[in-house]
Amino acid sequence: MSNNSIKLDFVIPGNDLLSAGEASSTVKKMLNQLGILPGIVKRVAIAMYEAELNAVIHAGGGEAHVQIDKDKVVVVVDDKGPGIPDIELAMQAGYSTAPDDIREMGFGAGMGLPNMKRYADELIIDSEVGKGTKVTITVNIS
Amino acid sequence: MLRILIIQTYIKILKVKAGLTFVKIREVVKILDACVVTSTENFDDIEINSACGADLMSDVMAYVKENVLLLTGLVSPQVIRTAEMMDIKVVVFVRGKKPGQNIIDLAAEKGICVLTTHHPLYIACGKLYSAGLTGRGVWD
């Protein structure tokens, strides 16, 4: 890979759980093409997929910005949803505010944020109630 | 001769205990009386080392392992998406559930094999476990 970083931008459509995952899928494909180790690719893909799903489920969509550098991948998922009132509580495995229709689709297990933390080397959550949430996921390549 | 047989059996037991047994996908089809809905070019080469049975996809994503087979009663395109992110090559829909064309198309596009079995989740998992597929995932 050259020294220049690669930047990818996506719009995450809201309330469309069927197409949720398209952005993560594209990023996964790109990272594979760049020859990044499969284990690292998988970590980025899962963390981003969880963030993408959260934006769809809780915020009516949002945006994803991905920067691939020589030494790390940074994924920013930004939404203008209701925000997270208690981040510490939301980080607890099993805690969920997802509605029933989302649970019927196999999500809302309360594992989204814990999974992001599990697979990211660094996870930063900026959230303001009534304004939105910005999740920054960093996965080191080397 | 008897000594060799004992050693071979002992090695087999050790492998099962350590979760090192690999099962060919054709064998999985036979064990689960499964139907093959979508196949891939390398279908016969696929070997499974561990299985995960879950209806909640976020629980599946907490599962770290290679050569995984996913058994689920949830029929949704997000099952295929989750499998894609997790590098899971085989998905088995249990309890006789039939995936819709959108799921079949997505699985074909992503190179994921889809099987269906009439067995419920618990029985399907038990049958594979009894056949030596004892490898489990890693949780923190």
Least confident span in A68-77, B24-33, B52-61, B120-129: B52-61
Q: Do B57 and A17 touch (CB under 8 A)?
A: no
Q: Among B52, B57, B58, B102, which would you mutate to test the A interface (most chain A Cβ atoms within 10 Å of its Cβ)?
A: B58
In this complex, is the C-beta atom of A17 within 8 Å of any C-beta atom belonging to chain B? yes
The whole-number pLDDT of residue B59 equals 84
CATH topology of domain A6-140: Heat Shock Protein 90 (3.30.565)
ipTM: 0.82
Tens of pLDDT, residue by residue over A107-121, are: 877 888 888 999 999
Instruction: Tell me which H or E stretch contains A67.
Output: strand A62-68
Q: Do A49 and B61 touch (CB under 8 A)?
A: yes
Catalytic residue among A22, A32, A52, A103: A103
Between CA A43 and CA A41 the distance in angstroms is: 5
Q: How many CB atoms lie within 10 A of CB A30?
A: 17
Retrieve residue B52's tokens.
């995960």
Query: Is residue B99 within 8 Å of B93, Cβ to Cβ?
Result: yes
Which residues have C-beta within 8 Å of that of residue A85, sequence separation ≥ 6?
Answer: A129
Class of B2-130 in CATH? alpha beta
What residues does each domain of chain A span? 6-140
In this complex, is the C-beta atom of A114 within 8 Å of any C-beta atom belonging to chain B? yes
Cβ-based contacts of B59 with chain A (< 8 Å): 109, 111
Å between B78 CA and nearest CA of chain A = 7
Which residue is associated with the tokens 């891939």? B40
Q: Give the CA count within 13 Å in the CB-facing half-sphere of A26.
A: 15
Between CA A82 and CA A56 the distance in angstroms is: 12
pLDDT mean across residues, chain A: 89
Between CA B86 and CA A68 the distance in angstroms is: 20
Tens of pLDDT, residue by residue over B44-72, are: 999 998 899 999 888 888 876 778 899 99
Q: Do B56 and A20 touch (CB under 8 A)?
A: no
Query: Is residue B133 within 8 Å of B67, Cβ to Cβ?
Result: no
Per the annotation, the verdict on A103 as an active-site residue is: yes
Q: Which residue has the higher pLDDT, B84 or B7?
A: B84
What residues does each domain of chain B span? 2-130
pLDDT of residue B140 exceeding 60, the answer is no
Q: Which residue has the higher pLDDT, A133 or A19?
A: A133
Average pLDDT over residues A76-104: 86
Å between A133 CA and nearest CA of chain B = 20
pLDDT of residue A77 exceeding 60, the answer is yes
pTM: 0.84
What secondary structure does DSSP assign to B84-137, as a single string?
HHTT--EEEE-TT----HHHHHHHHHHT-EEEE-SS-HHHHHHHHHHTT--B--
End-to-end CA gap in chain B: 45
Which residues have C-beta within 8 Å of that of residue B11, sequence separation ≥ 6?
Answer: none
pLDDT above 70: percentage of residues in chain A:
98
Q: Which residue has the higher pLDDT, A90 or A17?
A: A90
